[in-house]
Structure 1
């Protein structure tokens, strides 16, 4: 066996490896601190979230010319008085429910017996239960027989009479009684005290804390960072306050509904529903489980259970899908997977309180990730914004050979915009990413061919969509005169370009394929040429695509040029002006009367550079976008590119609704 020689790592690879190890160690340390320091961190987290909720109220009180310290103290006192009142009410309801539970035992027994009678002799569970009972009797028989024989053989021994022992404890004193009463309350009171202190100081020092966070962010743009964090803080405050009001309203409606239905301890279940609704997706389900179980135990019939189910089925969708979108939109800024993952993580760390705090804490982390560059990974991991831009998604799907998903994304885009706009704004930029990877040697030739084939299949999928008139087009819009350079897509809006009819075209344009789209150097250029050909076909100019190498010395004589009126030579990079010049020269010899357009579809190419490339290649026209090339093709026919009235059909290729 030949051993491979040891390959030393470069300094950059070592730094990257050490950074990854350091990040993993840091993450493990943070998790350990959160777990073992939860007695302190949980009150601080609660204080931070409460400060976001109370900050707008403090500002509102300050507008009444009340000093900040007095405004903070008054708002905090009122808020915690309300919390204590809710807690007292909750404790009273729990005590009352615990005292009433034994009364519901008979109802539960009757329903179980009724269920057994209904399924007696027919249910699998009933048969399994009967079999287990028979087996238990068989196993107990030998033991009983042995005990019986032993009793006959052995004489009955005299058992000693037990001596009663009584231990007397002295009556507890007043101090011991007070200690027994207060000791269970010490921990909650200490936690509450920590929360109150932190809330007060956070509200008093919020500007100072903001400045320290800006310093930690390490941004060079102080104004932008300050504005971003102020905006983030105000948005979080508004989000949490509105969510608190909505969830409180949800709890009030549920409590009143359960009271009208007759479910015991309706106030308790209303408060529980309001608290648990902070947990997305599953909070309302958990809140509904308790009153549903109680409804089964209380009502001898099933009426109360059905009414309780109906209450939750009606109220939750109304609040979640009607009121919430009206107030602050559908999303909290978290992806569904992030919500479930955060709920699992915080619950494992902090228990039930972690389940309630999971979403607010994760929202805070995502907002920090969006405004602090060093924490951007949090937004990528947990945010609901796409991790990849549309051009990156297009390129990634083409690279994976999966044009189906890209077609589905395109159909969403095409419901509002034209196909040409999609090609210019998404697909062409995706091909620019592919070209950049090809230039640095990251894409092998077979991968380039795979991308070309995927783009061809993508174009075939999109070509099945209908052409629909654009409702946004103004037919009287002026269009600039024809220029040798069309570099900006907005200069040639697709919605204003007419679909030409073959009978309206000049005779030299009525061939089978009057437009010839040629790839410059590689399959990426051919993929771009496929897009242009589809656009010209959609506007009434039939086209044909030739692969890269069609203009080489060996292949130029086999190039079919019959009926070609205009040729577009497509390049996705400008690294070889000489190749452009020789290609145009060969094409000119083959098509002496045809118009030649040089399509230079590089990223952020300026008009001066485009004009320089056109002059160097001796092309007739040049375009920096698909839209520019399409407009030049239509204008080269000599037919008015704008459609007016019944004679001009405006084109907008959209997905079928």
Structure 2
């Protein structure tokens, strides 16, 4: 039999890694070699993001045709750039003329430093450089009018050579500006067509997601550019005015340059600020000007970077600081100084692409500022590592933002579900499960104070593992919050070697809680053993795994199956209510508002009379503990609001209400008016609400509210405190 060569396992992942590295290297080479074409194009695209709102404003507000609006917007941008360059050039010429006058001050300061700190190599080098510069200036002064002019023979460059040299130095920037301008005009004029072509190219039929991605990128990049322009302008204005007040030469120049250099992440402002510091050192014989300049920069920069920008930017970029730093290094290597300015906007675009296109999701993970793990995943990782302190801090932050119940339902329970899916039932994962349980117990001790009774009529038992026991604990906390006492036991209590010693005296129900999907054998075994030990004890299963949805009471041989903790809590409340009703009838008393919702009894006729009195088509009483009125969660929520506030609640479907929210119940059922008042018994217990429902718009004033409250009091006196027996 011929032998086949099987690849080593270590060889298998090399191909995708090699392909990724090769693809990255190819893209980097294309970016580097194509800089002459790509840089003007990228500059034009970013300027198009910034100028698009201005073009839209010209179109909508001034009713200008699109070509006119585009040309006008580009002309304003070029005029602003030209004005910036003119002012900066004027300041440079002025500064160059003033520099020779600062030599004596610099020499005197360096001499003073040498006397104070002794000989220093750096100071000696600076002093020698200044001395050489002074000699050159002195030699220049000797060439005065009337003095003999030394003649040297050299190959002088003619006028044509001078013209070629000057043109060669300016033609590059001018050409770049011209190319960017042409690109910008065409991009703005054809922005609609280009967007449609881009959608067609990348959408793959998913137009909705592509439109969302384009809108997100436009909003984030445009908002970032405009906000940074405003911040940089304010920064440069304050910095220039401050330097002018201090007395630093050419303060306007440094204010203008710092506006431009702040587009370079992190170090741009510092790079340009060093120059006015040196001038302050050269101009002032003392040290006040230098110290004031440094202090101005530190206060302004720290305030802007740590207070102003975080509040203004918010999540406009969605890029992490580390990603911005790495991006700046990469693009500076590719495209030089221009790459530093373009780094952040281009990184924002990459993050948006990764956020909306699945094949590029790794970009959002690597570069984005949003947490890559959900709160349950973060909590699960901390519990696995035993990082209890960090988990407690995360828990406190979440509870402060929401509440304890939201944390238990939306963070802790999903974290346990992750643990159940990942950690096997076998002994190999036992150390991790124990570490998880220890962290869980520490967290529960911080967020929920529950006194577990030694004996209870309801036992909550983890079905198979320690994780199931944790879920049972969460269920017990929920029940305790509803006033139902229970006792939580570990899975070992129903193991073969221990179930015979399970104390079932006075226990009415045993609920097995399972987080996993393999529950049938264990549930059947426990149900069979408990049925022999205590035939009157009900066996309930709370199956929390989605794959166990096919299980039923018949397949598990139990009395009831719940699919969620909410269902289990609701079932326990229903059982408690049924028990209260049974005890009430056993004592010879009638249930408050017995027969609610029936039109052939005295209570039903009284409710119909209330509706006729108000001229409203429908009236009802909704009781908090009546399942017939709690099936609709939205309707039950309205009743709960009335019961909690003990105040009338008047809601119109088209008018927002601070307590109701989006009025989902009214809008879904076509109800325009919901008017309800609480039903309060003689002992002060609020058991529900009397509500009027109208499908037509109508007002409901204070007089009608008082009339409805009187009707509710009459109902309580007649039917609420056992005054009538159900027909």
Q: Normalising by structure 2, what TM-score?
A: 0.68
> How far does residue 29 in structure 1 lie from its aligned partner after superposition?
0.7
Query: How far 1:545 moved relative to its partner?
Result: 4.2
Kindly state the Cα deviation for residue 79 of structure 1 after the two structures are TM-superposed.
Answer: 0.6
Check whether the contact 1:518–1:547 (CA below 8 A) recurs between aligned residues.
Answer: yes
Specify the SS of the correspondent of 2:510. strand
In the alignment, the residues of structure 1 paired with residue 54 and residue 280 of structure 2 have an alpha-carbon distance, to the nearest angstrom, of 39
| Counterpart residue number, 1:92 | 90
Q: 1:647 to 1:551 in 2, by over 3 A?
A: farther
Kindly indicate whether the alpha-carbon contact (under 8 Å) linking 1:343 and 1:355 is maintained by their aligned counterparts in 2: yes
C-alpha distance in structure 2 between counterparts of 1:358 and 1:347, whole Å: 8
Equivalent in 592, 609, 613 of residue 552 of structure 2 = 613
Shift of 1:521: 2.1
- What aligned pairs does 1:99-248 form with structure 2 within 5 A after superposition? 99-119=97-117, 168-169=153-154, 172-248=157-233
Kept in 1: contact 2:460–2:476 (CA 8 A): yes
Q: Distance in 2 between matches of 1:81 and 1:332?
A: 28
Q: Are the structure 2 counterparts of residues 127 and 76 from structure 1 closer, same or farther at C-alpha, using a change threshold of 3 Å?
A: closer
1:415 Cα offset (Å): 0.9
2:78 pairs with 74, 77, 80, which one? 80
| Secondary structure, aligned partner of 1:573 | coil
Partner residue in 1 for 2:66: 68
Which whole-Å deviations, capped at 9, do the CAs of 1:618-653 have from their partners, x for residues lacking one? 5455444445545655776679999979999xxxxx
Bigger drift between 634-643 and 281-290 goes to 634-643
CA distance in 1, matches of 2:564, 2:491: 19
Report the Cα offset of residue 381 of structure 1: 1.0
Find 2:436's aligned residue among 454, 476, 482.
Answer: 454
Deviation at 1:260? 1.8
Structure 1 residue 522 corresponds to structure 2 residue 465: yes
CA–CA distance in 1 between the matches of 2:273 and 2:243?
11
For 1:108 and 1:129, locate their aligned partners in 2 and report how far apart those are by CA, in whole Å: 11
State how far apart, in whole Å, the 1-side matches of 2:264 and 2:554 are: 64
In structure 2, what is the equivalent of residue 138 of structure 1?
none
The reply on whether 1:391 has 2:376 as its aligned counterpart is yes
Separation (CA, whole Å) in 2 of partners of 1:548 and 1:637: 26
Instruction: Give the alignment partner of residue 570 of structure 1, picking from 513, 533, 540.
Output: 513
User: Contact 1:512 / 1:542 at 8 angstroms: preserved in 2?
Assistant: no
* Structure 2 SS opposite 1:568: strand
CA distance in 1, matches of 2:456, 2:123: 81
* Distance in 2 (alpha carbons) for counterparts of 1:129 and 1:239: 44
Which of residues 502, 523, 529 in structure 2 aligns to 1:586? Answer: 529
> What is the Cα deviation at residue 429 of structure 1?
1.9
1:326 is displaced (CA, Å) by 5.5
Q: Is the 8 A contact 2:216 2:352 kept in 1?
A: no
What residue is the counterpart of 2:659 in the other structure?
none
Shift of 1:536: 5.6
CA distance 1:405–1:566, shift in 2 (3 Å): farther
Q: Is the 8 A contact 1:595 1:620 kept in 2?
A: yes
DSSP-derived class of the 1:168 partner = coil
Return the offset for 1:366. Answer: 1.1
* Paired position in structure 1 for 2:258: 273
Counterpart CA distance in 1 for 2:100 and 2:506 is 95
Is 55-64 or 517-526 further displaced after alignment?
517-526
Q: 2-side partners of 1:235 and 1:256: how far apart? A: 31
Distance (Å, rounded) in 2 between the aligned partners of 1:172 and 1:412: 74
Shift of 1:325: 5.3
Q: Identify which range, 177-186 or 544-553, moves more after superposition.
A: 544-553
- Cα separation, 1, equivalents of 2:213 and 2:536: 59
Structure 1 pair 81–567 and aligned structure 2 pair: CA distance change class (3 A) = same
The CA distance in 1 between the partners of 2:381 and 2:434, in whole Å, is 13
Partner residue of 1:31 out of 20, 28, 31: 28
CA distance in 2, matches of 1:86, 1:128: 37
Larger RCO: 1 or 2 (CA < 8 Å, sep 6+):
1
1:495 paired residue number: none
Give the distance between the partners of 1:292 and 1:623, measured in 2 at CA: 73
CA pair 537-452 structure 1, distance change in 2 beyond 3 A: farther
Q: Aligned residue for 1:56?
A: 53
Q: 2:251 matched to 1:312? A: no
SS in structure 1 of the partner of residue 494 of structure 2: coil
**Preserved CA contact (<8 Å) 1:217 1:374:** no
Q: Within the alignment, does 1:559 sit opposite 2:502 as a pair? A: yes
Give the secondary structure class of the aligned counterpart of 1:77: helix
Change in Cα spacing, 1:599 to 1:456, as seen in structure 2 (3 Å) is: farther
Q: 1:603 to 1:419 in 2, by over 3 A?
A: farther
User: Does 2:241 align with 1:259?
Assistant: no
Q: Which one is further off, 549-558 or 185-194? A: 549-558
Root mean square deviation, CA, Å:
3.8
Q: Is the 8 A contact 2:453 2:485 kept in 1?
A: no
Verify the 8 A CA contact 1:520 1:569 in the aligned structure 2: yes
Task: Evaluate the alpha carbon distance shift between residue 332 and residue 107 of structure 1 in structure 2; reply closer, same or farther with a 3 A threshold.
Answer: farther
The residue number in structure 2 matching 1:46 is: 43
Secondary structure in structure 2 of the residue aligned to 1:301? coil
CA distance in 2, matches of 1:108, 1:636: 92
1:437 aligns with 2:422: yes
Question: Which whole-Å CA distance do the structure 2 matches of 1:292 and 1:587 have between them?
Answer: 86
Which residue pairs with 1:547 in the alignment?
490
Structure 1 Cα separation of the partners of residues 323 and 313 of structure 2: 20
Q: Which deviates more from structure 2 when the two are superposed, residues 279-288 or residues 536-545? A: 536-545
- Partners of 1:628 and 1:76 in 2: CA distance: 63
**Which of these residues, 300, 320, 327, is aligned with residue 335 of structure 1?**
320
Q: Which runs of 5+ in 1 are unaligned?
A: 131-164, 468-498, 503-508, 649-657
Cα distance 1:616–1:538, how it changes in 2: closer, same or farther (>3 A)? Answer: same
CA contact (8 A) 1:38 1:350 kept: yes
- For the Cα contact (< 8 Å) 1:528–1:570, is it kept in 2? yes
Query: Aligned in 2, Cα 1:603/1:337: closer, same or farther, shift over 3 Å?
Result: farther
Classify the secondary structure of the residue corresponding to 1:464: helix
| Cα distance in 1, alignment partners of residues 156 and 478 from structure 2 | 96
Q: How has the CA–CA distance of structure 1 residues 613 and 9 changed in structure 2, closer, same or farther, with 3 Å as cutoff?
A: farther
Change (3 A) 1:390 1:581: same
Shift of residue 166 of structure 1? 8.0
C-alpha spacing 1:384/1:326, structure 2 compared with 1 (3 Å)? closer
Task: Give 1:20's aligned residue.
Answer: 17
195-204 or 295-304: bigger deviation: 295-304
Distance 2:361 2:503 in 1: 54
Contact 1:403 1:455 in 2 (8 A): no
Aligned to 1:158: none
Q: C-alpha deviations, 1:77-106, integer Å up to 9, x for none?
A: 221221122123223323333443343333
